[in-house]
Amino acid sequence: MRALKKALPASCLITDGPGLRPYECDGLTAIREAPWLVALPETEAQVAAVLAVCREHGVSVVPRGAGTGLSGGARPHADGVVLGLSRMNRILEIDPANGIARVEPGVRNLAISEAAAEFGLYYAPDPSSQIACSIGGNVAENSGGVHCLKYGLTVHNVLGARVMLMNGEVLELGGPLYDTPGLDLLAVLCGSEGMLGLVLEVTVALLPKPPEVAVLLAAFADVGAAGQAVADIIGAGIIPAGMEMMDRLAVQAAEAFAKAGYPEDAAAILLIELDGSETELARQGAVVERLLSEGGAYQIDVARDADAQARLWKGRKSAFPAVGRIAPDYYCMDGTIPRHRLAEVLTEIDSLSEEYGLQVANVFHAGDGNLHPLILFDANKPGELERTEEMGGRILELCVAVGGTVTGEHGVGVEKLNQMCVQFNGAELSQFFRLKSAWDPDELLNPGKGIPTLTRCGELGGMHVRHGELPFPDLERF
C-alpha cells in the first residue's frame, strides 16, 4: 500500500471499509467481495504507475468502468486492486468530417451522442444503461442495445483503441480508418472482459441521424405469434433499427413504472423502430403493419413524433428497474438463440418457472435472439438464491442446446463459467487460455473471469454434456 500511496495522490485511493463497499460488486449484486484497495487514476501515467506497483508485488488488478456490468466481470478479489477508470472521462475530439469521436474510457455512452448531436451525428450502440455505462466498459463487454440489430454491437462501431497491457506496454489498435493492416486485435479486445488489457482511449464511428423515424407497438394475445412475426419481418428483407419483445409480466411492470401506454392485457408486445427516408419509411411501414396484422396482432400503434417515441422506448429501457419493484430481487440472464427457436425456448422457460416456483419476466432483443429472462426471487428466503442461480444456469444451457450461446452482450464474468463448459470443448478453452497468456503471462489482469479451467469443467461432468446426458433431451438439437 505504501508504494501505491507514493504512485498516486491520496484522492485517487480508497482504502477504508465504507469507501470500498460500493466496489464489492457490479450490477450482478448476488456476488460480492470487498477489494483490498481501489485505485482511481486520472491520467495514463497514473495507470502505468498502478500497474507497475501491482506487477512488482504480484497483486491482481480488476479493471472497472461504471460498474453497470451484469455478469460479475468487475467482481474484486479480497487481496487485489480494483482499478477504476471512471475519472478518465474526457471527450478528446469530435470529428464530424470523418464521422469519428475520440474519447477516454470513462466517458458515458450517452455523452458521446450528446456531444455529437450538434453535428447531426450519434453513436449507435445504446445499452439500456447508456445514461450511466462507460465506453471502456462497453468495449470490455462488447455491449449491444436496442439498435444493435441494424447497426451492430460495440465491435462494429469501434474503430480504434489505445490499450495498456499488464506489463506497461501500450498498443495502438485500429485507428480512424475503416480497415487496418495486420491481425484484427481490436476485435479480440472487444468482449475480452478486462482480461487482456486496459482501455485508455477509444475511437468510435459516428453515424448521421436518420431523416425519419417511426416506432410501432404491436400487441399479441399469444407469445408464439409475436415470435413468428419477428421472423416474418426479417424474412421479408426488412431490418428494423430495433425490434424488442416483452412478455405480459414485463409489460405490466414497465407500464406501472414508466406509464408508456403499453396494453397490459397483451401476452407479448413488440416494439419496432424503422428509420430512413420518408419514402423508405412509408414502404417498410406498410409491409410491417401488414405482417403484424396477418400474424395476429390485435393492436398496432404507430408513433411518429419524438415525444411519443421516447415514451414507448422509456418503458422498454426501464424494464429492468421496473421489474425490481415487483419482487425483492431479480436475476437477469443473458443468452442468445436462433430466432426461429424463440417460441419453444419461451415455452421451456415457462416450464422451468413452474418447476422452480419462480416467476420470470422476459425482455429481449427479438431481432437478434438475445434473451433477457429476469428471474424474480427473494434472497432473504433460505436457499432461494441458490435455486435461482441453478434455474438461470439451466436457461443458459437451453440456449446452447438449441444452437445459441451463453451470452449475447453481458459477458461471462464469473456468472457463466459453468455454462462455458457446456458451450466449448477442452481444446477450445485451452486456446482461450493461450491467448490470455500471450497478453498477460503472469495472469494478474482480472484473473478467474471469462474462461473456466479444464479442472472446473471436469468436476462438473465434462464438456458439452452433463453427466453423460445432453441437456433438454426432448428438444431437437441444432
- Cell numbers that stand for 85 in this block: 477508470
Which pLDDT score, from 0 to 100, does residue 462 have? 58
The stretch 219-244 carries a mean pLDDT of 94
Indicate if 362 and 382 belong to the same structural domain: yes
Same domain, 103 and 66: no
Do 179 and 114 sit in the same domain of this protein?
yes
Average pLDDT over residues 22-32: 91
pLDDT band of residue 463 (cuts 50, 70, 90) is low
Instruction: State residue 40's pLDDT score.
Output: 98
pLDDT at 307 over 80: yes
Tell me the residue type at 255. Answer: E
- The percent of residues in the chain predicted with pLDDT above 90, rounded, is 88
Residue 103 has pLDDT above 80, yes or no: yes
Residues 451, 336 within the same domain = yes
Say if residue 369's pLDDT is above 70: yes
- Residue 284 shares a structural domain with residue 172: no
- State the pTM of this model: 0.93
Same domain, 172 and 289: no
Give the confidence band of 476 by pLDDT, cuts at 50, 70, 90.
Answer: confident
Checking if the pLDDT of 465 tops 60, the result is: no
pLDDT at 168: 97
**pLDDT score for 178:** 77
Share of the chain above pLDDT 70, in %: 97
Question: Rounded CA gap, 448 and 152, in Å?
Answer: 29
Boundary of a domain, candidates 322, 342, 359 = 322
Residue 470: is its pLDDT beyond 70? no
User: In this model, does residue 214 exceed pLDDT 60?
Assistant: yes
Is residue 430 one of the residues assigned to a domain? Answer: yes
Q: Write the CATH number for 153.
A: 3.30.465.10
| Same domain flag for 333 and 304 | no
Single out the residue in 267, 291, 322 at which a domain terminates: 322
Residue 180 lies in a domain: yes
Give residue 29's pLDDT.
85
Instruction: Look at residue 468 in the predicted model and tell me its pLDDT.
Output: 41
Task: Give the per-residue pLDDT at 31.
Answer: 83
State how many domains the chain has.
Answer: 4
Mean residue pLDDT across the chain: 94
pLDDT value at 191 more than 60: yes
What is the mean predicted confidence (pLDDT) over 449-478? 73
Query: Are residues 444 and 345 located together in one domain of the fold?
Result: yes
Of 30-34, 37-41, 474-478, the range with the highest mean pLDDT is 37-41
* pLDDT tens profile 401-424: 999 999 999 999 999 999 999 999
Q: What is the 3-state secondary structure (H, E, C) of the chain?
A: CHHHHHHCCHHHEECCHHHHHHHCCCCCCCCCCCCCEEECCCCHHHHHHHHHHHHHHCCCEEEECCCCCCCCCCCCCCCCEEEECCCCCCEEEEECCCCEEEECCCCEHHHHHHHHHHHCEECCCCCCCCCCCEHHHHHHHCCCCCCHHHHCCHHHHEEEEEEECCCCCEEEEECCCCCCCCCCHHHHHCCCCCCCCEEEEEEEECEECCCEEEEEEEEECCHHHHHHHHHHHHHCCCCCCEEEEEEHHHHHHHHHHHCCCCCCCCCEEEEEEEEECHHHHHHHHHHHHHHHHHCCEEEEEEECCHHHHHHHHHHHHCHHHHHCCCCCEEEECCEECCHHHHHHHHHHHHHHHHHHCCCEEEEEEHHHCEEEEEEEECCCCCCHHHHHHHHHHHHHHHHHHCCCECCCCCCCCCCCHHHHHHHCCHHHHHHHHHHHHHHCCCCCECCCCCCCCHHHHHHCCCCCCECCECCCCCCCCC
Instruction: Report pLDDT for 177.
Output: 81
| Contact status, residue 62 vs residue 45, Cβ threshold 8 Å | no
Res 464: pLDDT: 54
Q: Please indicate, yes or no, whether residues 124 and 186 belong to a single structural domain of this protein.
A: yes
The grid coordinates of residue 279 equal: 419514402
- If you average pLDDT over residues 176-190, what whole number do you get? 90
Question: Which of residues 174, 208, 242 is at a domain's end?
Answer: 208
What's the domain range around 453?
A: 328-459
* pLDDT at position 467: 38
Q: Is residue 464 part of a domain?
A: no
Domain assignment present for residue 473? The answer is no
Measured distance CA(440)–CA(438) in Å, rounded? 6
Q: Given pLDDT bands bounded at 50, 70 and 90, which one contains residue 393? A: very high
Q: What is the pLDDT of residues 310-323, one digit of tens each?
A: 999 999 999 988 99
- Paired strand residues for 362: 373
Is a pLDDT exceeding 50 seen at residue 466? no
Claim to verify: residue 389 and residue 450 sit in the same structural domain: yes
Please give the radius of gyration of the chain, using alpha carbons only, rounded to the nearest integer. Answer: 22
What is the CATH number for 74? Answer: 3.30.43.10
Confidence of residue 204 (pLDDT cuts 50, 70, 90): very high
What is residue 471's predicted lDDT score, i.e. its pLDDT?
66
